[in-house]
Structure 1
């Protein structure tokens, strides 16, 4: 059982969001998971150019750290996303990562995986950012085990409580991976989404050759 944490904070070891990501990973580790932490600000993720090459070949024309990071995500059973609130959204490196995953969205490549998100904010908006990151994970095919958001500016002591909740979330994530917790409503949503993207890929199979092959190999093409 492998759980990976991706933190998008420019503050390095002084990041408050880092504390939440590490708490989730610690909870998962207590349940037997092998964990890995990635500081997104130490990587170079270029902006998507919308060239469409990934749809056709499964490869990206940009030479940076994205491919290695994506391989590490694909090799994980659970994904933890962490970001501070930047104007009710994620910082640019996290958004750049999301934008590079269009092929993975079409192919629903995180199907069978589980995810959660954490966010710290000064005054507000933490819930919106957690919701956005979890929606991205769900759009990629993952089931969502939960999320933690905390506004530290309103209560500096709130971070400690949030760390305790994040540790519990990590345990929940690991139990979900083991199959102890199930998400039938999310499973049905993913089934419908796969059917939608299957039709999209089928109608564009000349341009989306890689994706058509993916759906065929997965046994999802109808």
Structure 2
């Protein structure tokens, strides 16, 4: 189980505490876990060069490759970001923007994900929903989310326990192969959509076209 923390506040981060609680629950359910702190890494911005569509490799020589490899090797991932002006942090958004090959190739298919967030006053649910929606668009199955507004101290205690249970749920759903019919239907429509896009660009996007053929989707 992989935790990806997008808060820049280090050990003071309440979002980090929630990510760690999810990983604790996963460990209690028998999973091996790892935590990645995005803010301790150097990840450059996507410049939309489309080289990854052609080769499967990014032109940037930075820390994103480590994060990406760990995500591809993980059965379950929890993403955490505090609310920054109604959205995720810049560090989390930069990572997401580098994953365009993942959405074209549906590379998170079969993985279970969850999200956690904290807000100074309001908005944590919107950030959780955004993260889950983006990862489902890349093929993942979203198990759930939790978060808290810091104006309510009792809310954080509740969120910590919910996060621990969320970690256990992630492990259970991975083991049982739980089906979420609504998300399965969405994945089907995404494959249809990107199948047309990749097929239309097969002469240029050779890596992605070969991936789609290998998966039997074209």
Q: TM-score range by the shorter chain?
A: over 0.9
- Alpha-carbon offset, residue 30 of structure 1: 1.1
Residue pairs, 1:125-204, within 5 angstroms = 125-153=123-151, 155-179=152-176, 181-204=178-201
Check if 1:219 corresponds to 2:213.
no
What is the CA deviation profile of residues 63-92 of structure 1, one whole-angstrom value per residue up to 9, with x for unaligned ones? 100111100000000010000000010111
Extract unaligned runs of 5+ from structure 1: none
Gap regions ≥5 residues in structure 2: none
Matched-pair contact (CA < 8 Å) for 2:79–2:131? yes
Residue equivalent to 1:81: 79
SS at match of 2:190: helix
User: How far off is 1:182 after superposition?
Assistant: 2.3
Match of 1:105 in 2: 103
Q: What is the DSSP-based 3-state SS (H/G/I as helix, E as strand, rest coil) of the residue aligned with 2:153?
A: coil
Aligned position for 1:8: 6
Task: Return the offset for 1:206.
Answer: 1.3
Which one is further off, 171-180 or 105-114?
Answer: 171-180
TM-score (ref. length: structure 2): 0.98
Q: Is structure 2 residue 149 aligned with structure 1 residue 124?
A: no
Q: Distance in 2 between matches of 1:180 and 1:66?
A: 29
Give the SS at the match of 1:157.
Answer: helix
Give 1:14 shift. 1.1
TM-score (norm 1): 0.96
Q: C-alpha displacement at 1:157, in angstroms?
A: 2.5
Q: Give the match's secondary structure for 1:18.
A: helix
Please provide the CA RMSD for this pair.
Answer: 0.9
1:65 aligns with 2:67: no
| Partner Cα distance (2:127, 2:81) in 1 | 8
For residues 122-174 of structure 1, give each alpha carbon's deviation from its aligned partner in whole angstroms, at most 9, with x where no partner exists: 10111100000001110110000001121012x12221111001111111111
* Count of aligned positions: 218
